[in-house]
Structure 1
């Protein structure tokens, strides 16, 4: 899928913003799609989405200004959504969880390069998010208090987990009445959440796939 942006204007926004938007959807898949030159999201799952899998997709060459609801490349506001084996280039919030997302939501084996801002929970009080083997090169992964950012988003993540992730920095803060955890993260660190085995390889390599095997068996 390719948006017809003006090649002479690297900040052109007079073209398609969203590639795939899902609303009032359950038990759905987005598989093996390459996205190019969109201004907003490659895949956006709205609040009414449940049991969605987005896998083996790649987003490159976004065209837009930077910031302000742009380039939230792979974003969920729903619940029971799985985003796995994704690649994003030059996004803003590449792997993002939105306002009061009920969870559980998981990003597994995802990579982002040349991002302009962090990945993680970007709006108020998303719960039950897992970032599992996510690599954010040159930017941060963040569960924390956005305070006045994001139109006053405040605490953005609760009862959420980083598992064996790599980033320039990982922020893991404990919100009131809840907790966030970081296991086996490779980064610079900030926050008063629960930290364990930082800068170490841990087992199982993937928390999500270990839980899947426990439920379905080794095959």
Structure 2
């Protein structure tokens, strides 16, 4: 196995990196990310429900706006799906909130395909939804696994923050034989050719999972079996385990060579498959959970109320403004969030999400504590953030740990962050930062940080011109 390549250089030196390298690793093609693989515009879904701001007397009921917005979402969710365009999209309709002020105590939930929540502008004169209440909770939840009544305030109080569903393995597999990558063959990073033992039972167009198993030998090779303790306290780091570092990459078969027993996949591998480790298992992609599609949140201003006694450090209020999970082909567009602890999160079970033309502004929380002020967070697969901006982040543009990617951040700016951007926590793969302005961009060995985060990522590339540090970690 080739040693890790870690480069810190000025942007003018990026061309000095030569690919393919000695192991035939190449820079992957990152073009198939975002809604419908980024090849179509976000659709203008027809309006089916229209709501106006409440009159002042109705606002005396703290649950009035939440109930009527959620009921409108649920009515649209009950409509039949209708095909839209030629890209496989099917939609039900949009809930349009006319310009003005709405006050929501609890959460708003989209849990059916083809539903859009839309306003009439993301500035102060547009559609402004204020998250009220005095507990930490995520606010707009796009998630095929959540019942809409979970948005009620009493449920928020019971659950506090809505917990992210992050199972280790969310696949049940199709009813067909598994196959495996061919022993003794290296599949380099950037490759779309997957030699397998047997192609029988698989067909072009089918979606598959390529499961790269974790193993003790790999952890030893990259030094993650014996992380040092924290130097300030001596508290031991949590060692990495093979079970948690089994990676599952979702791909589609676009060609099959039966003679050579090789699949061609749509999206290149963002991690090399080294023959010194156990072979990867390949199986048909069937999710265990309800994955919704063609859903969006757009043209809104989301504001979190805060305790006036703690106007800069309060944390008993809106946490993430928007969370997308158990969602494929979704979007957040033209949304501003203000005073939430964190911004917009495409979670572990999100796929093909576009977040565009959004601003995460003026977060309210403890300023330097962990888990806060994560402004744009792509932790699923095939996610895209473009033309987005942040102010006063801890981490402007990040992923969490064990993220299989690919994910792309492009044409975006972070102002006044107190920490860096880049993969955060433990081992994210396949990240492209292109034309990103931020305080600092790092892909690094984090060692004991965060109880033993170790290597933050691999195959993370930056082509920006306005970051202070360029770090490229290519092969582990």
Question: Normalized against structure 2, the TM-score is what?
Answer: 0.35
- Deviation at 1:7? 3.7
Whether the 8 Å contact between 1:122 and 1:150 is mirrored in structure 2 is no
* Residue from 124, 128, 147 that aligns with 2:447: 147
Aligned-partner Cα distance in 2 for 1:151–1:59: 28
SS of match in other structure, 2:329: strand
Q: Which runs of 5+ in 2 are unaligned?
A: 1-301
Whether the 8 Å contact between 1:23 and 1:45 is mirrored in structure 2 is yes
Whether the 8 Å contact between 2:462 and 2:472 is mirrored in structure 1 is no
- Deviation at 1:42? 1.2
* Residue from 398, 401, 410 that aligns with 1:99: 401
Aligned-partner Cα distance in 1 for 2:472–2:333: 33
Whether the 8 Å contact between 2:461 and 2:473 is mirrored in structure 1 is no
* Residue from 317, 333, 340 that aligns with 1:38: 340
Aligned-partner Cα distance in 2 for 1:46–1:174: 23
Aligned-partner Cα distance in 1 for 2:445–2:470: 10
Whether the 8 Å contact between 2:461 and 2:472 is mirrored in structure 1 is no
- Deviation at 1:152? 1.2
Aligned-partner Cα distance in 2 for 1:28–1:174: 30
Aligned-partner Cα distance in 2 for 1:56–1:103: 21
- Deviation at 1:100? 1.2
Whether the 8 Å contact between 2:460 and 2:473 is mirrored in structure 1 is no
Whether the 8 Å contact between 1:131 and 1:165 is mirrored in structure 2 is no
Higher Rg of the two aligned structures? 2
The residue that corresponds to 1:89 in the other structure is 391
The residue that corresponds to 2:239 in the other structure is none
- Deviation at 1:174? 3.8
Relative contact order higher in (CA < 8 Å, ≥ 6 apart): 2
Aligned-partner Cα distance in 2 for 1:4–1:150: 29
SS of match in other structure, 1:151: helix
- Deviation at 1:150? 2.5
Aligned-partner Cα distance in 1 for 2:470–2:463: 13
The residue that corresponds to 1:51 in the other structure is 352
- Deviation at 1:6? 2.3
Superposition pairs for residues 3-152 of structure 1, below 5 Å? 3-9=304-310, 10-39=312-341, 41-66=342-367, 67-136=369-438, 139-152=439-452
SS of match in other structure, 1:50: strand
The residue that corresponds to 1:183 in the other structure is none
SS of match in other structure, 1:140: coil
- Deviation at 1:171? 4.8
Aligned-partner Cα distance in 1 for 2:317–2:358: 21
The ranges of structure 1 where at least 4 consecutive aligned residues each deviate by more than 2 angstroms after the TM superposition are: none
Aligned-partner Cα distance in 2 for 1:51–1:173: 24
Provide the alpha-carbon RMSD of the alignment. 1.3
Whether the 8 Å contact between 1:144 and 1:171 is mirrored in structure 2 is no
- Deviation at 1:18? 1.2
The residue that corresponds to 1:170 in the other structure is 469
- Deviation at 1:164? 2.2
The residue that corresponds to 1:214 in the other structure is none
The structure carrying a bigger helix percent of its residues is: 2
SS of match in other structure, 2:450: helix
Q: 1:71 to 1:38 in 2, by over 3 A?
A: same
The residue that corresponds to 2:458 in the other structure is 158
- Deviation at 1:173? 5.2
Whether the 8 Å contact between 1:53 and 1:82 is mirrored in structure 2 is yes
1:110-147: CA deviations, max 9, x gaps? 100110100001111111100000001xx210111111
Question: Normalized against structure 1, the TM-score is what?
Answer: 0.76
